[in-house]
């Protein structure tokens, strides 16, 4: 029982690089389905301008935890606070209104649409022809698409191509650019962003995540690939059997340390004061 208390305390510790308090404070989140607890008293802080990775074996409870943060699933108990104020996440719209967006593994892109059609899908810009007839403002959507890619520090892909013709890294960039339309965006959750990508494509996605951090966003990535996690994360949070084992700073642990936490479900003794 003692290691659980230690792990919870560690999960609440801030990253050394972060200044001030946490941007998002998650306290005691639990989710039960009948007699099964998918998440049990999970707590975590997410700080401004950091990349935090969430790792653990299949069935560790990562997906349920992320769904509660993003408003897809309502917790049985616990609370979420953003910048000190408690919020209710009853739907993805609530999460979006509080500056939290999720980029799912399938990216939610329409393959036959081009880049700007995907970015502005459901939020198309309009103009009035002769001051009366509403029409899509393709020129403005194209201009803003170019600006979004500049904001990401990336080369703009061929805007006339359907996204099915783009590389995996470019598709990730299109998905991120779509999220950046939200002006009050605080946290981007990325579910297995480098799954099924080659070495070069994965490198591009790692660079994209680092650019997001440089531009002031916080990123929470879910990944099974510890090599990628160690390349990009400031902190690494480990879950097992629906509980938070602990959150550790990347530069204070080795690859094998994190593997040990995943397998044994205990906080590292060298990090427990």
pLDDT in tens, 49-81: 999 999 999 999 999 999 999 999 999 999 999
Which residues pair with residue 58 across a beta bridge?
none
| Positions in the chain whose pLDDT score sits under 50 | 1-18
Q: What are the strands, taking DSSP E only, across 51-159?
A: 51-55, 77-82, 85-87, 100-103, 126-129, 133-136
Strand 133-136 relative to strand 126-129: parallel, antiparallel, unpaired? Answer: antiparallel
Question: Given this model, what pLDDT does residue 17 score?
Answer: 42
Residue 117 is encoded by which pair of tokens?
């059609």
The domains of the chain, with CATH numbers, are 2-99+184-271 (3.40.50.300), 104-167 (no CATH)
Question: Given this model, what pLDDT does residue 8 score?
Answer: 45
Question: Given this model, what pLDDT does residue 5 score?
Answer: 39
Phi, psi for residue 158 in degrees, rounded to 5: -60, 110
- For residues 212 and 205, give the distance between their C-alpha atoms in angstroms, rounded to a whole number: 11
Q: What is the pLDDT of residues 101-141, one digit of tens each?
A: 998 877 889 999 999 999 999 888 888 776 666 788 899 99
């Amino acid at each position: 029982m003692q290691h659980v208390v230690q792990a919870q305390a560690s999960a609440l510790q801030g990253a050394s690089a972060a200044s001030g308090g946490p941007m998002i404070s998650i306290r005691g989140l639990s989710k039960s389905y009948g007699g099964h607890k998918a998440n049990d008293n999970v707590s975590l802080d997410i700080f401004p301008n950091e990349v935090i990775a969430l790792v653990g074996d299949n069935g560790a409870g990562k997906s349920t935890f992320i769904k509660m943060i993003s408003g897809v699933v309502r917790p049985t108990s616990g609370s979420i606070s953003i910048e000190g104020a408690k919020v209710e996440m009853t739907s993805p719209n609530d999460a979006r209104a509080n500056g939290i967006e999720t980029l799912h593994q399938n990216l939610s892109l329409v393959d036959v649409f081009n880049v700007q059609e995907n970015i502005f899908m459901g939020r198309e810009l309009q103009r009035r022809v002769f001051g009366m007839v509403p029409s899509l403002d393709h020129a403005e959507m194209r201009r803003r698409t170019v600006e979004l890619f500049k904001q990401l520090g990336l080369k703009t892909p061929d805007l006339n191509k359907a996204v099915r013709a783009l590389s995996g890294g470019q598709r990730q960039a299109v998905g991120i650019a779509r999220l950046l339309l939200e002006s009050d965006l605080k946290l981007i959750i990325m579910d297995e962003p480098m799954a099924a990508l080659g070495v070069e494509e994965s490198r591009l996605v790692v660079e994209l995540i680092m650019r997001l951090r440089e531009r002031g966003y916080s990123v929470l990535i879910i990944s099974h690939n510890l090599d990628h996690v160690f390349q990009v994360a400031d902190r690494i949070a480990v879950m097992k059997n629906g509980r938070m084992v602990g959150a550790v700073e990347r530069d204070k642990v080795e690859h094998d340390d994190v593997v040990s936490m995943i397998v044994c479900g205990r906080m590292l003794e060298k990090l427990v004061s």
